[in-house]
Structure 1
Amino acid sequence: MVPWLSPDDPFPPLERALGASSGAPGLLAASADLLPSRLIDAYRHGIFPWYSDGQPVLWWSPDPRMILRPDEFKVSPSLKKTLKRVLRDPAWEIRVDDDFAAVMRACANAPRRGQRGTWITSDVIDAYSSLHRIGDAHSIETWFAGQRVGGLYGVSLGTMFFGESMFASVTDASKIALSALVAHLRRNGVTLIDCQQNTAHLASLGGREIGRKPFIAHVRANVCAHAIPWRFDKSVLADWLGHGQGHTETPAVPTL
């Protein structure tokens, strides 16, 4: 039985999440509220919300957990070529927190293979926008010729980044934003990005699974660290590529 949380109830121990043999592995609890305070408490414990419109808020702690280590990020030859073009052409920009809610709306409207609808409802946008206003959630945006063409958003606590969603309206635009994020996180000593659940796309970029216990240990050790700065532009890519990073040659991954 999945416990129902009243507003003041703490999350149950993570070990009580449903197991692999259940129909919903990793499901930990359900609630009616998606308050900013509840969200922050969830992320500090390695828990995230994911549910469909019309459902209660469902809270998850899967085992294993998909993660991406910035120093394991895979840059294909084609993506490296694209990043160099982005650096040369002033029409390309990386903006941070230009319009957080707009990025969330774009992610909500992005088509997902095998998925119908989105969990990024207006209530979810409002909740994460509240985190953004207090400096705990950020958007990294790819712009071309004055138009936002891709980006991502996530939650940042201490030296821990929890990725939420990405979108692209032109080829590789979300990968450009992710590359800038990886470069920024490496510069600031962040060693792990939470990707929540396994997808082939994330695996192609270097994502992999780790067990819940080491993931939670990493979260607890990093969420209380001093917050990192959240101001950068595409020059972070120049520093990263110029110091021999992003050089991993892997087979070209499918374009978005």
Structure 2
Amino acid sequence: MSAISPRPDSPSAGASILIVEDEPAIATAIAQRLGAEGWRTEVARDGLSGVEAAARMLPDAVVLDVMLPGIDGLEVCRRIQAERPVPILMLTARDDETDMLIGLGVGADDYMTKPFSMRELVARLKALLRRVDRAAQASSAPDGAEPPMVIGDVVIDRAQRRVHRAEQEIHLTPTEFELLVMLASSPKTVQTRERLLAEVWDWADASGTRTVDSHIKALRRKLGADLIRTVHGVGYAFEPPASA
């Protein structure tokens, strides 16, 4: 599908987006809206076609429905991420936090519940692409430009974007990594949900704060519940481990 000229303010102008969605009306609407942003799009109508398309086109990001014919979106996500890390925005028809946590657990970076606004979809994708750009810039920085953060038994290597706890590597999505860095950069300092949403997701609408909560839960499942303290009604704080 050809794309129109990119808007000057579009991040990663000309980026390629794979849309894996079996409902023709939704897939067409998404493709048209993303095309208006100057992004190149391709649509896959089922899970296996989505996996094949991802391997062939090497997209910059993927919009992936959970409910698909053949293999479901969770398995598609697993297979795509096993071959090549890529930002994935999952779409779910059920407003079920368990489904959301499973999606984040298999490698999705963000999720949206149907029905959703195209404006928010574009904003979420722009944020994902900006994070990819920042990660690329960090990895190309001179050695030693950003020394690892060592907090007790937690080591956060910002240059290589790798995290270890107790000498065991913890695999985080790009979003989870940036969220952890944001919290760990100011230990014991409470960060509001709104600030985390703005800094990590580049999303200023406070209606998305539930996304923050779900990602915090995913981080705790991977790193341990002791590292992030909830301040009810406010936000979260990184608590250095006892060995720090």
TM-score normalised by the chain length of structure 1: 0.27
- Greater helix fraction, Structure 1 or Structure 2: 2
Higher relative contact order (CA 8 A, sep 6+): 1
